[in-house]
Amino acid sequence: MENWTRDQWEKSKKESPKSVFYLYTPMCGTCMVASKMIEVIATMKTDLPIGKADLNYIEGLAVDYEIESVPCLLVQENGEVIHKIYAFQSVPYLLEKIG
């Protein structure tokens, strides 16, 4: 999973039928656990574009997408955000939401 800029996220929304953007902050303990879950998903779903970003460096995205807290997982389908996930309950739960 690679680090994305906002432009890369917007590009994935236009070019990919489905993609996922994981937002975190480095000092967040819950984000550390969520990061491990996302790494597992990235390994399982190699055909799905998945990016990550430290929200501290893309604050405008937080405002525009009304991000309430981290960790946050944005799931887009056909250019529209269909899920904004804050509670990373388990890998199976996330896989179900991602589809």
What is the overall mean pLDDT for the chain? 96
Which domains, ranges and CATH numbers included, belong to the chain? 2-94 (3.40.30.10)
CA-wise closest residue to 72 among 81, 57, 82, 85: 85
Q: What is the pLDDT of residue 89?
A: 95
Rounded Cα distance between 95 and 99, Å, is 6
pLDDT at 61 (0 to 100): 95
Tens of pLDDT, residue by residue over 25-60, are 999 999 999 999 999 999 999 999 999 999 999 999
